[in-house]
Copies of this chain bind each other. A is one copy, B any other.
């Protein structure tokens, strides 16, 4: 295989070739590095990448007697996660050159599994708000990749690495995955240890990952999930699939409406029993509750930086610390308690279906890099703590990707991944 061929391999494909002995980790790494060298001036996915370090790590893996489940697979790390051998800079001027010498738990688990920690991907400042990533959308450089996991989504979409980590507080995994046309997994809240990864919102932040196939998402699920287990194969014939417009449906553009309709059509043709799911009216408040909780919890998240660097915190973050929104702790508690009721209620609803499907974003990626897109179709699922998978099945009128989201009840991560895979297959992926 040529280097160009190698960088096109999915993680599962690369793992198979590595296992066969026909490929070294170093050669795979060099293929990815070559791809990045050719594309980086356009895509700008990386906040930190050290070619020599990558190759040294690759050779160390080639020389190692242990063969973990992710042996030699390059993984990009969102630059809000600490890495022992690379700086962690949060895209914040306050953390330029910052270099804590420990791995975040999510990075440590990758290393233990034999993954090749490739580099740090650009992000919206602190994965919150403020400075945008410099990253461009691989499908059209005049558009952004979405945020906040901008570099992680774009690097995978552009075949620079097969896997990457991101985080989601509102829609920072699923939305950039939809904009960039890649698969993404946002697991159940609490499943993955967040230590060493910047926390924006305590009850929302969730670590997830990007890949170019459903099988690749499963590879990482198996590393992160303490409960191993099979992926229940979902035969689409007779499968009960619920389409949920969500309380945000008025925000859906034609691209998304068309994608959802095409998905329903495709699944019906595959034999699925497709129904419309209208959530009870109590769910209408979820998007606003998600915003309130995120911003209220963001006060504690950025208070230490505000105090350590008076007057230097990015204004949009300082406003959060200062609570210019004017929300109250009584309001926060009401949102907490109401969301808790919706969680069990949604689990019960979702248990009646093999999968729930909803939009991943209002439409295609917006023009320009400042607009990271609207997470309105993602925040409610993040708040419900449920697993969501972006299935990159469609293309919009501007030729940019449009994804759909497959959702399961809490802790049904494997079921949701298996359903997403079946849905993707039925839709031609």
Contact = CB atoms under 8 A, between A and B. Distances in A.
A99 B323 CA distance: 35
Interface of A: 98-102, 105-106, 108-109, 111-113, 190-195, 198-199, 202-203, 226-227, 297, 299-301, 303-305, 307-308, 321, 323, 329-330, 332-333, 336-337, 340-341, 343-344, 347, 410-411
A109 to B, nearest CB: 5
Contact of A198 (B113, B192, B195, B203): B195
Given A112-B304, A190-B297, A193-B304, 6 more contacts: A106-B304, A108-B304, A190-B300, A193-B303, A329-B411, A333-B410
A133 B108 CA distance: 27
Contacts of A305: 108
A427 to B, nearest CB: 29
A395 B102 CA distance: 45
A299 B111 contact: no
Contacts of A303: 105, 109, 193, 226
Contacts of A304: 105-106, 108-109, 112, 193, 195
6 contacts: A99-B101, A193-B303, A194-B202, A195-B199, A226-B303, A226-B321
A103 to B, nearest CB: 8
A300 B192 contact: yes
A329 B101 contact: no
Q: Copy number of this protein in the oligomer? A: 2
Given A105-B304, A301-B193, A227 B112 contact: no
A160 B66 CA distance: 49
A202 B188 CA distance: 13
A130 B318 CA distance: 41
The 9 tightest CB contacts between A and B, nearest first, are A340-B340, A112-B307, A105-B304, A329-B411, A108-B304, A337-B344, A100-B102, A193-B300, A226-B299
Contacts of A105: 303-304
Chain A binding surface SS class: helix
Contacts of A336: 340, 343
B333 A337 contact: no
Contacts of A227: 323, 329
A408 to B, nearest CB: 12
Nearest to A197: B195
A385 to B, nearest CB: 9
A333 B347 contact: yes
Nearest to A84: B100
A226 B344 contact: no
Contacts of A190: 202-203, 297, 300
A333 B344 contact: yes
Contacts of A111: 308
Contacts of A307: 108-109, 112-113
A127 to B, nearest CB: 13
Nearest to A310: B112
Nearest to A193: B300
Nearest to A409: B333
Query: A198, A304, A340 — which one has the most chain B CB atoms within 10 A of its CB?
Result: A304
A345 to B, nearest CB: 10
B191 A300 contact: yes
A192 B329 CA distance: 14
Contacts of A337: 340, 343-344
Contacts of A341: 340-341
Query: A193, A199, A299, A410 — which one has the most chain B CB atoms within 10 A of its CB?
Result: A193
Contacts of A193: 199, 300-301, 303-304
Contacts of A329: 227, 410-411
Contacts of A195: 198-199, 301, 304
Contacts of A199: 193-195
Nearest to A191: B300
A293 B190 CA distance: 11
